[in-house]
Structure 1
């Protein structure tokens, strides 16, 4: 059989990540090899590669228009991110062309290197959804005279990096909601929920610390809960299709009438999920943390806090900033507590003798020829001076305006007239 001459035809990527997967980002260079193994001499017209990246959306809607008929509408949309074509051997020819200019592959294994650069633009992250997908691949095609071409396709992964170390994604998220349960003409007390999280941006594997306060003034036993949801939205022909999936959840303790419950940093771990997709015009992947109160026999009280799942984790300095921001938010969160009095300078263990020595040591002016070289030492010494002693009596009281005003008036009256 003629086709058995080509024993193996495969694509291999050179630069893989720590998990031996081909993962790239916008602007990266992709290099690899097309490997052809033949059992005997083969004439090749051309060997080419075609790299593509496409976001595609497709779904079908049907409507019954009668007893035996139906109306079907297809919704499709496509966005192209990559389209690269390269010839590794020869050029494409028509079968009617003369039988010349072919490349002969001898028996054995042959490798053909290729490389390409991803566009320097925001690319959509690789994604597989119910009504759409974002896929990237390299396709190789081996053309031989008077035979069907041999094809192979190899997909690779693209991550559009989202850095959560930005002010917008480090900002705390908080909210409050309340509702009153009614049963005919009898109305019970309200159910209220307040919740906040330290920041908006997270990465898979992190835990979300939830701070919440739930108060139940109704006549029913309710249960506070929290859940992380992924929302996939697909757009085609001016219409959208949305799917919501539960990613992770947790449950609090039942709350009886007149009781309240506090969550002081209850943890909800984020499992391995796809990063948020926010730049693709036809596919969006968004996340939200929903802290809610499960009301038996009634509508739940939901409080939604939007999240962004990124790819670049929190840096150490950003973690400290987020912690300080969280502490500041906690101060605001505890409702209007009485502020502490400012520190008293008299509490500082600084002797008056040491204070005089520091003040005398700093009261000097360097000579002109040494002014430039001694300025740094002067500033350093001045920086570490102790604060002045605190006193209830103003050491520089304002002069009494009465006598001074009278004296000035007399001095003015004694001036000769002009």
Structure 2
């Protein structure tokens, strides 16, 4: 980072306890720029992008081939300072977002640049990082100056699918039976009947499976079950698959000539990746397998598809948890507006700052917020009465605490 730039950091406001975002949500935040001397700027902007990417290599030596593909969902961009020659120009595959603009000179001091984006109302896959690909939603800020290297920083948003509770078909039970007749190394037959309560389960939920076993053979058997994740990566006509065991266990032995009933409980991790079916180049799917382990013979098995759904949000997407309301303070007075004086903000652009009637807490109109963030208080900073203060002396440079990178 240049010696003239003391701090260059990017911050956004959480809207719920899980710090996640979904389609249509508002992403508000601020860029903090502290400079030790006057600087001239060519371009200064923040952007929000959503992308999926897959890549893997097959073969070796002269036969090595890399397969890859990319899918972009959106690119939103808000300029704080834009080169005068490029003002008004459209940018390919980019949605320009209106916001406050400033002149090309930034005076010494600490400055706060607010931004606001709305995530598109479209069917996009959730954030994901797999063996050969990923889905990412990234906030990036870039500052370009004449004859200087570009300053840049970024942070990732955790994007999740909204659990709307409309998947009624996922609530239907699944049931199947498998029989096996012993021919070699034994005689008689065995059967396994498996019933799962439903197909769809939320993160952190427990899968309950009922198993009936009739071992009318001359062999002892063991009950085993597993939940496996399959990741599929697609690049053109090529496909790459990878597997990950989420649960894999062995239960009691069922002796020859006995019948047994089992209830199998599998508690899903709270951070388990949800099923992804809405991405062209990347899929995440799950399979539940219950089977009888028979030595020196094929195993009778029952397989069910399982759909992992996002856990229900703790708060509505438009209302953060208590103490989570953190609108950005207005720009500092030592910014140099361009041209002339700094105009008032467009009506409706940042209503939380300028209209007390739309604040989420009744006390907010008086500048009082429940459970204030002690790290956001700094004596000497004088924001508008309705906005909480911001601490420019925080040591974090790229993101505030508890933020994803």
Alignment TM-score, normalising by the size of structure 1: 0.67
CA contact (8 A) 1:9 1:34 kept: yes
**Paired residue secondary structure (1:279):** coil
For residue 90 of structure 1, report the CA deviation from its aligned partner.
3.0
Contact 1:180 1:187 in 2 (8 A): no
Q: Are 1:54 and 2:55 an aligned pair? A: no
SS of 2:254's equivalent in the other structure is coil
Whether 1:195 and 2:187 are equivalent positions in the alignment is no
- In the superposition, relative to structure 1, how do residues 148 and 313 fare at CA in structure 2: closer, same or farther (>3 Å)? closer
- Specify which structure has the bigger relative contact order, considering alpha-carbon pairs within 8 angstroms and separated by 6 or more residues: 2
In structure 1, the gaps of 5 or more residues are: 64-68, 95-100, 315-418
Query: SS where residue 217 of structure 1 aligns?
Result: strand
Q: Deviations over 1:89-117 (max 9, x none)?
A: 232769xxxxxx96222222111111112
Q: Does 1:124 align with 2:125?
A: yes
1:92–1:312 CA distance, 2 compared to 1 (3 A):
farther
Distance 2:35 2:230 in 1: 49
Q: Give me the whole-angstrom Cα distance separating, in 2, the residues matched to 1:302 and 1:313.
A: 33
For residues 295 and 67 of structure 2, the distance between their equivalents in structure 1, rounded to whole angstroms, comes to: 39
1:297-331 CA deviation, whole Å, 9 max, x = no partner?
A: 333322111111112559xxxxxxxxxxxxxxxxx
Structure 1 CA distance for aligned equivalents of residues 84 and 222 of structure 2: 68
- Map 1:258-337; keep pairs closer than 5 Å: 258-263=257-262, 265-272=263-270, 273-313=272-312
The alignment yields a C-alpha RMSD, in angstroms, of 2.2
Q: Quick check: 1:249–1:268 contact (8 Å CA) kept in 2?
A: no
Q: Encode CA deviations 1:153-203: one digit per residue, 9 max, x unaligned.
A: 1111111224455320110111111223432xx662222111111111111
- Tell me if the contact between 1:250 and 1:268 (Cα under 8 Å) persists in the aligned partners: no
Is contact 1:51-1:85 (8 Å) kept? yes
Structure 2: which 5+ residue stretches go unaligned? 87-101, 314-405
Higher helix residue share: 1
CA contact (8 A) 1:161 1:310 kept: no
Q: Quick check: 2:226–2:249 contact (8 Å CA) kept in 1?
A: yes
Aligned partner of 1:87 in structure 2 is 79
For 2:170 and 2:83, how far apart are their aligned partners in 1?
A: 50
Asked if structure 2 preserves the Cα contact closer than 8 Å seen for 1:77 and 1:235, the reply is: yes
How far does the alpha carbon of each residue in 1:240-284 deviate from its partner, in whole angstroms, 9 at most, with x for none? 111121112343210111112112x43211112011111111111
After the TM superposition, which parts of structure 1 deviate over 3 Å for at least 4 consecutive aligned residues? 162-165
Q: Is the 8 A contact 2:186 2:218 kept in 1?
A: no
The count of residues paired between Structure 1 and Structure 2 equals 297
Distance change in 2, residues 1:176/1:215 (3 Å):
same
Give, in whole Å, the separation in 2 of the partners of 1:164 and 1:242.
30
SS at match of 1:24: coil
2:68 equivalent to 1:76? yes
Tell whether the 8 Å contact from 1:233 to 1:285 is kept in structure 2 after alignment. yes
Matches within 5 A, 1:171-250: 171-183=172-184, 188-250=187-249
2:208 match: secondary structure: strand
Q: How far is 1:137 from its partner?
A: 0.2
Task: Tell me if 1:37 matches 2:34.
Answer: yes
